[in-house]
Chain A
């Protein structure tokens, strides 16, 4: 549907608005040619895989470049035509050649690692696909859900290749003897891959993805140079020539030092020629022709489809007798090879690659983001782009980090959370690193658990930061309430944790598993120390928040710290509804407390198991801890709920009642209605009240008095509506509906205010 619009709507009568599509009949020829070239390229790559088994990779690349340079110099005549090339440009061409060599080295090394089929799938993406993929991944303006889907498909395809591709034979080959490698270079690459800890073909996949990104960057960077030099073809010819000279000494050294595995170079001439033609020359010329004749996106779409399909087909049939004709002319000795065959994962990933290439190469519709502002005199719609150019006031990353750090460190709450978060993360990473090093699953999963816990801290940090933001139109009271919401979410989080621990421990009670305890103790002691530091820090500053949970969590170890925290809050009025209630900090504190309890539980149960062999102690401990966490979190959730439900603030309840009684005694005041008082955030108690007065008194005086009384009661954001009888009369006059009038008069009656004859009803 979108393509239809793209094709039909654009060529307007004015022309020149955008690229005008050539009628498709003339394009068919090029498309067919493109498809054919791509198929041949696939053949060439399969061929070169066979060749690479015999020939050393550097020699192979050298021969490839030599052949290409020979043909291109012959065709393009870079020296005799065009303007002369300056010294500066030569240097650039030299750099270009070096980069090109490195990329082709990576490419062909990837080819040796994971076979031609996977190489074709991974590497043969056009630039536009990769660029739009990267823009989806790393910028916010990806271009709509379709592109996001394409990017997701691409990633899924790569993951499929990584995880679900049972390339068994290659996995076997991964156990190759280390001395097998021909040269220092390949050996280096092999060790690099081995260091990553993945099998060879997976390493090849990663290498090819890297090479693909490099290729795209390389093409983008060389665009300017090609214009300077005088055309992409001339640049290519020169660069190939330079790279031949570059590789020449290396190849000479190689062929001198190592003995060649090739029996006769003569028999390899034919395959090399096909590879050179199919992979390098034909593809290059066809690409440049098509990019002139067609849209880039169309070119990419028509190009990717045949190459993937033919790769799949060849992957299946390359070793089949049918293709013997094709192969026989290259290699007489046909060995029985089953490596890098088609597997389910490869087929799935090929499908995903085709889909993603199709989606990502479709032209992005920037017009969707513009807002229609009208029509031009000719009748074409005009759009206004409130786009990316204006929104991105790009801030450099270090500066952003510095700014936010400064903000974080400004206030004690966020500072404490931040420091503790850093400590926690440090501990986590040490644990994870050590776990990876010693290959201990328990440590790694505990590390994940810690990371998971850190998410609560991160949320608390964000809430503490955001609560200081200035009020806006939307957040008219300011952002202070975010702390309460964050406290509520943290409370829910803890309840979920308690629930899971509970379920787990019940399951273990029924069926107590054998535990390996020797690894647990150091980790849990470390965690305990970290968490105790946190408890100390938080309870110093916020002992009132602690006070709420005080009654519920008595555990042997934590008790001294509770008392410690308690000793510091003489001045505070604490309890369930302590003065400076900060739900956020309470939530974070409870989280840390729960972690501490967990560590203590682990230690206690370890001791019990080691001393007495009570394996039931572990589930019992966790059951106990779950109940403790649950009980300690109840007050927090209750308070947060009350605030969120706009309850009359409990700590001001009595004062407000007294204040309302006082208000009733003000002279000239008849009654009041709709008294709403609620706590908005830790610092704001808001209130609204409607007051009816007799007609003689001055409204402003009443406002002043009532404000004074309520301010004394602790309400600091107040709106008072003073109504006289006249107000209701006006209202009943203004309101148009009969029912409204009726309601108004009823309201007036409810005042029971009958003064004199002027009373209306």
Chain B
């Protein structure tokens, strides 16, 4: 909890800042409810801990840790409200979306560490079983259970709801699903409650309460004190089972990994990108989830020397941005010093940049190779340039564009007047945005065209 808030701004006025942020969150109406629940939770946890020490029951302690976990989840919820309000700062350039993920991760890991402590304690208790007083055991169980369920069901906890949906099924859920499948075979009406999979938190609350009830019964009937330890172990194992998939999921987000479920889509998009005309290869693909759900990524695209960089860039990012919201595409060419473009402005530029250390090497190369390049066209045999649908250049008005095949980026060589005008849907008048009118190619045609173009093309 505090750990996450706490260390973001470790200045002296740290509590002041915390208070300020807190006020910001508290200004929202929705967070009042959460704060109220948090206060009740603290109260409840205090009582439960008292009862734990009075009953001396470790199973109840394990169950109390679930209540403490609830407190963490409430704090996570507050953090997610706070995150929604914050804009990215220059230092945290991606924004604070990840704080949500970190909070989920931290609270699930803390719950598991608590379970680990319970396991350790109960290993020690197996050696020397203390006596359990059942006085407050059942009361504590039902207070905790009702409070947990009430919290879970009345507060819409966005981050945890997302994670519990997205993470893989825990073993507890798997078993319940397996059991309820056969149960629903008998009573089909129940399938709406149980079947896809139950909410893991509700499930673990119920299962823990069930274990505690059994403990109570057996201790009352037969004074089997060892049951208490056994059910503590069971609750701890269930906590592990429930929390582990979630912490794996959020941990993978924190590790900047590609989520497995989008890999198929990404592959498809990258295949599409690599068949774009001019694209030679796609490499250094890094795609990762920023917060819950939003994908960020960067990719390097190597293109043919005579390809139009901006055009390829636009197409690549257009393809990918349907899936990847924060995208950076680096276009690079081999041998770009041999200019395929008109080399007019390049030469002075080169000289100007000499104060940077990278420059000397290519400069030499440039000097060497200039003569052959300027004397002959770059690639006499190359077919018409890709993306031949006409994009409006600086000096061509869009209206004329529709009928003429002037290419603004025609590399100074006037070849390949392939009539592509059929591709354009003529009537694409975009009344509001004048510039956008003639630009829109009809998408279905493009891939096939690229395919044809590519076939006859020798790679440079």
Q: Using a CB–CB distance below 8 Å, which chain A residues touch chain B?
A: 1-2, 4, 144-146, 148-149, 159, 163-164, 166, 344, 441, 444-445, 448-449, 452, 455, 473-477, 481-482, 485, 488-489, 492-493, 495-496, 500, 507, 634, 637-638, 641, 644-648, 653, 666-668, 674-678, 680, 686, 688-690, 695-701, 703-705, 707-709, 717-724, 726-727, 729-736, 738, 741-742, 745, 756, 758, 760-761
Is there an interface contact between A734 and B314, defined as CB atoms closer than 8 Å? Answer: yes
Closest residue of chain B to A500, judged by CB?
Answer: B117
Please list 14 pairs of residues, one from A and one from B, whose beta carbons are closer than 8 Å in the complex, sorted by A's number: A1-B185, A166-B222, A445-B127, A476-B288, A477-B286, A481-B256, A485-B255, A496-B113, A674-B326, A678-B94, A698-B339, A730-B311, A733-B440, A741-B436
Known: A688-B328, A698-B346. A477 touches B256 (CB 8 A): yes
Of B37-45, B151-159, B370-378, B391-399, which stretch is located at the interface? B391-399
Interface of A, helix, strand, loop or mixed by DSSP: helix
Instruction: Tell me the bound Cα distance from A745 to B222 in angstroms.
Output: 78
B284 on the A face (CB < 8 A): yes
Known: A496-B113, A696-B345, A726-B310. A645 touches B96 (CB 8 A): yes
Residues of chain B lying within 8 A (CB to CB) of residue A444: 124, 127
Could you tell me how many residues of chain B have their Cβ less than 8 Å away from some Cβ of chain A?
A: 105
Residues of chain B lying within 8 A (CB to CB) of residue A695: 394
Residues of chain B lying within 8 A (CB to CB) of residue A149: 175, 178-179
B414 on the A face (CB < 8 A): no
Per a CB cutoff under 8 Å, which of B218, B314, B318, B336 touches A700? B336
Is there an interface contact between A760 and B353, defined as CB atoms closer than 8 Å? Answer: no
Give the contacts of B110-136 with A (CB-CB under 8 A). Answer: 110, 113-114, 116-117, 120, 123-124, 127-128
Known: A634-B7, A701-B349, A719-B298. A745 touches B433 (CB 8 A): yes
Instruction: Tell me the bound Cα distance from A155 to B216 in angstroms.
Output: 22
Per a CB cutoff under 8 Å, which of B260, B310, B352 touches A730? B310
Residues of chain A lying within 8 A (CB to CB) of residue B254: 481, 485, 644
Per a CB cutoff under 8 Å, which of A675, A719, A729 touches B392? A729
Closest residue of chain A to B186, judged by CB?
Answer: A1
Is there an interface contact between A145 and B174, defined as CB atoms closer than 8 Å? Answer: yes
Closest residue of chain A to B409, judged by CB?
Answer: A726
Instruction: Tell me the bound Cα distance from A701 to B435 in angstroms.
Output: 29
Known: A144-B178, A638-B7, A730-B314. A455 touches B116 (CB 8 A): yes
Give B271 Cβ to nearest chain A Cβ, in Å.
14
Is there an interface contact between A719 and B329, defined as CB atoms closer than 8 Å? Answer: yes
Residues of chain B lying within 8 A (CB to CB) of residue A686: 286
Instruction: Tell me the bound Cα distance from A644 to B409 in angstroms.
Output: 44
Is there an interface contact between A637 and B7, defined as CB atoms closer than 8 Å? Answer: yes
Residues of chain B lying within 8 A (CB to CB) of residue A689: 328
B221 on the A face (CB < 8 A): yes
* Most A Cβ at <10 Å: residue of B53, B181, B313: B313
Per a CB cutoff under 8 Å, which of B90, B328, B346 touches A648? B90
Residues of chain B lying within 8 A (CB to CB) of residue A690: 328
Instruction: Tell me the bound Cα distance from A562 to B339 in angstroms.
Output: 61
B356 on the A face (CB < 8 A): yes
Closest residue of chain B to A708, judged by CB?
Answer: B358
Residues of chain B lying within 8 A (CB to CB) of residue A159: 230
Of B98-106, B198-206, B448-456, which stretch is located at the interface? B98-106
Residues of chain B lying within 8 A (CB to CB) of residue A474: 252, 257-258, 260, 263
Instruction: Tell me the bound Cα distance from A761 to B434 in angstroms.
Output: 8
* Most A Cβ at <10 Å: residue of B4, B53, B317: B317
Residues of chain B lying within 8 A (CB to CB) of residue A761: 435
Instruction: Tell me the bound Cα distance from A493 to B260 in angstroms.
Output: 29
Residues of chain A lying within 8 A (CB to CB) of residue B174: 145
Residues of chain B lying within 8 A (CB to CB) of residue A742: 433
Known: A441-B127, A474-B258, A733-B391. A495 touches B3 (CB 8 A): yes
Instruction: Tell me the bound Cα distance from A717 to B109 in angstroms.
Output: 30
Is there an interface contact between A645 and B92, defined as CB atoms closer than 8 Å? Answer: yes
Residues of chain A lying within 8 A (CB to CB) of residue B171: 145, 148
B384 on the A face (CB < 8 A): no
Instruction: Tell me the bound Cα distance from A722 to B432 in angstroms.
Output: 28
Is there an interface contact between B391 and A729, defined as CB atoms closer than 8 Å? Answer: yes
B160 on the A face (CB < 8 A): no
Is there an interface contact between B92 and A641, defined as CB atoms closer than 8 Å? Answer: no
Give B130 Cβ to nearest chain A Cβ, in Å.
12
Known: A475-B257, A719-B298. A646 touches B394 (CB 8 A): no
